[in-house]
């Protein structure tokens, strides 16, 4: 085991709900605390505490990530009517992910974890494809309407100074549908910055794709701002790091991706990222085999398990069963945060520990010691799937 590794500065630790919370405690207890004198600022984002603090704790946690530079987050329940009744909540609170994203103004990067026994559906893919998804605006903040019959549709902008701009969208021949959407230069610039920072950190070539041949102003603006951020802020650093930036049309990017070996960051507009990250994730087999990090334009980062709280497994655990929930994403959220802390604090021992723990997880999985979600699709299939406790113990053994 050796001596305990010290930390210089704390990490913002955001605890969460249900089975993910159970795994969270186990991972800390069994895999981290035996080796590291863990320093965190702890925020309990479990639904009961969010309710008790009128959700102030979510905003405080977001501010702590910004201040400390590094955060790690467990999956949390997004409250709805059913959860309100289940937990006897005072109110329905917004999703903590939305609250934190608004504070950090970030881009979400999702990367599948590839195992040799689980073949990606696209046979040419050898390296993970990372999706960087812009998480503001477009169709997710659009205004829509149906119209009953013939008439004129216009876009109207009224500046705060009263200046007006108008454009005809369509002369409707009959009943139909209309949609208006927007984005902000500032948010697009932040998105581009986050993508370049991530690509530099991970040493990945970066692709950006849109449809500026058709959407000359809207997608054209995305292309222009992305390119401007590259030219004015990152060109030199990218050249030094040997990182290639490449813009192409979205249909061309899709075709190239399927024939590629992977191993790039694909920066996607909001909707494109929604679709592409699900395609890439499903090709890997399990939602627990995906790392997810939110990177803000100032460089503050939040590592998280991308899956949910695994509600049904939690109910089984409460009934006294031992569910087979995969803790890979939870462990890798912690190793990501510890490695980032080590880099910022210049504490190489901590960084080396994060690397060893990640290595132990990968060796365990590669040896066929895995939970049910993977055991179902692995070849060769393991003799039997491990439960959550056995899996973490198998990782701990390798770590020792
Ligand atoms: P979920 O927790 O992702 O689980 C859905 C199903 O996916 C599970 O029943 C399980 O399938 C499988 N699964 C997910 N994670 C797994 C893991 N680590 N190991 C093995 N299997 C895993 O989604 P949900 O049950 O729809 O949502 C539960 C709660 O999570 C909701 O309240 C939602 O608001 C919240 N949520 C939070 C976040 C976040 O904080 N980032 C994200 C999404 C959802 P089987 O049952 O087939 O084993
Ligand atoms: Mg989606």
Interacting residues of 66 by C-beta distance below 8 A, sequence separation 6+: 103, 104, 296, 298, 300
Residue after which a domain boundary falls, among 284, 302, 321? 284
Q: How many CB atoms lie within 10 A of CB 307?
A: 22
pLDDT in the model for residue 335: 98
State whether 100 and 222 are in the same domain: no
State whether 198 and 310 are in the same domain: no
Tokens at residue 184, please?
Answer: 């902000």
How would residue 3 be classed by pLDDT, with cut points 50, 70 and 90?
Answer: confident
Q: Domain count of the chain?
A: 3
Ligand 1 centre from 325 Cα, in Å?
10
Helices 388-399 and 348-366: crossing angle in degrees, nearest 10, is 130
State whether 304 and 257 are in the same domain: no
- Over residues 101-123, the pLDDT tens digits come to 878 877 999 999 988 888 888 88
d(CA 194, CA 105): 10
State whether 2 and 74 are in the same domain: yes
State whether 129 and 225 are in the same domain: yes
Interacting residues of 213 by C-beta distance below 8 A, sequence separation 6+: 249
- Over residues 135-193, the pLDDT tens digits come to 888 987 889 999 999 999 999 999 999 999 999 999 999 999 999 999 999 999 999 99
State whether 264 and 132 are in the same domain: yes
d(CA 307, CA 23): 13
State whether 76 and 162 are in the same domain: no
State whether 355 and 232 are in the same domain: no
- Over residues 295-304, the pLDDT tens digits come to 887 789 999 9
Residue after which a domain boundary falls, among 228, 251, 284? 284
Query: Looking up tokens 């192409």, which residue turns up?
Result: 248
d(CA 197, CA 190): 10
State whether 124 and 249 are in the same domain: yes
Range of the structural domain that residue 379 is part of = 1-114+291-400
**CATH code, 206:** 3.40.35
Tokens at residue 40, please?
Answer: 């965190």
Q: Assess whether pLDDT exceeds 80 at residue 85.
A: yes
Q: How many CB atoms lie within 10 A of CB 189?
A: 16
Counting from 1 in the atom list of ligand 1, the atom nearest the Cα of 326 is: 19
**CATH code, 27:** 3.40.718.10
**285 CB burial (10 A radius; 0-12, 13-18, 19+):** buried
Give mean pLDDT, residues 82-94.
94
pLDDT in the model for residue 114: 86
Counting from 1 in the atom list of ligand 1, the atom nearest the Cα of 77 is: 32
Q: How many CB atoms lie within 10 A of CB 136?
A: 20
State whether 103 and 123 are in the same domain: no
Tell the residue nearest (CA) to atom 37 of ligand 1: 308
State whether 110 and 127 are in the same domain: no
State whether 93 and 67 are in the same domain: yes
Ligand 1 centre from 48 Cα, in Å?
19
Comparison of pLDDT for 283 and 19, the residue scoring more: 19
pLDDT in the model for residue 338: 98
Ligand 1 centre from 23 Cα, in Å?
13
Helices 328-345 and 348-366: crossing angle in degrees, nearest 10, is 160
How would residue 99 be classed by pLDDT, with cut points 50, 70 and 90?
Answer: confident
Q: How many CB atoms lie within 10 A of CB 134?
A: 25
């Amino acid at each position: 085991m050796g001596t305990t590794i010290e930390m210089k500065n704390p990490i913002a630790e955001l605890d969460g709900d249900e089975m993910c919370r159970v795994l969270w405690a186990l991972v800390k207890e069994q895999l981290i605390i035996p080796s590291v004198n863990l320093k965190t600022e702890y925020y309990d984002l479990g639904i009961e505490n969010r309710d008790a603090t009128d959700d102030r704790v979510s905003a405080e946690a977001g501010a702590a990530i910004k201040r400390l530079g590094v955060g790690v987050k467990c999956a949390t329940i997004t409250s709805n009517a059913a959860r309100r009744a289940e937990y006897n909540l005072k109110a329905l609170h917004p999703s903590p992910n939305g609250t934190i994203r608004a504070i950090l103004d970030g881009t979400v990067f999702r990367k599948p974890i590839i195992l040799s026994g689980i073949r990606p559906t696209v046979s040419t893919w050898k390296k993970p494809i990372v999706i960087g998804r812009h998480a503001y605006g477009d169709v997710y903040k659009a205004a829509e309407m149906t119209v009953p019959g013939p008439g004129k549709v216009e876009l109207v902008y009224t500046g705060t100074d009263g200046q007006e701009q108008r454009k005809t969208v369509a002369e409707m021949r009959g009943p139909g549908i209309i949609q208006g959407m927007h984005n902000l230069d500032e948010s697009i610039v932040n998105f581009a910055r986050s993508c370049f920072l991530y690509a530099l950190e991970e040493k990945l070539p970066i692709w950006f794709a849109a449809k500026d041949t058709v959407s000359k102003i809207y997608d054209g603006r995305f292309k222009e701002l992305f390119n401007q951020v590259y030219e004015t802020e990152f060109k030199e650093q990218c050249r030094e790091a040997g990182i290639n930036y490449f813009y192409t049309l979205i249909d061309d990017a899709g075709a190239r991706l399927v024939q590629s070996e992977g191993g790039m960051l694909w920066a996607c507009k909001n909707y494109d990222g929604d679709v592409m990250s699900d395609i890439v994730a499903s090709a890997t087999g399990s939602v627990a085999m995906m790392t997810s990090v939110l990177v803000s334009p100032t460089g503050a980062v939040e590592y998280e398990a991308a899956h949910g709280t695994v509600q049904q497994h939690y109910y089984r655990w409460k009934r006294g069963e031992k569910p087979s929930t995969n803790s890979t994403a939870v462990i890798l959220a912690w190793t990501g945060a510890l490695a980032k802390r080590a880099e910022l604090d210049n504490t190489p021992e901590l960084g080396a520990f994060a690397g060893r723990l990640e290595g132990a997880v990968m060796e365990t999985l590669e040896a066929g010691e895995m939970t049910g979600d993977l055991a179902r699709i692995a070849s060769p299939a393991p003799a039997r799937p491990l439960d959550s406790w056995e899996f973490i113990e198998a990782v701990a053994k390798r770590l020792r």
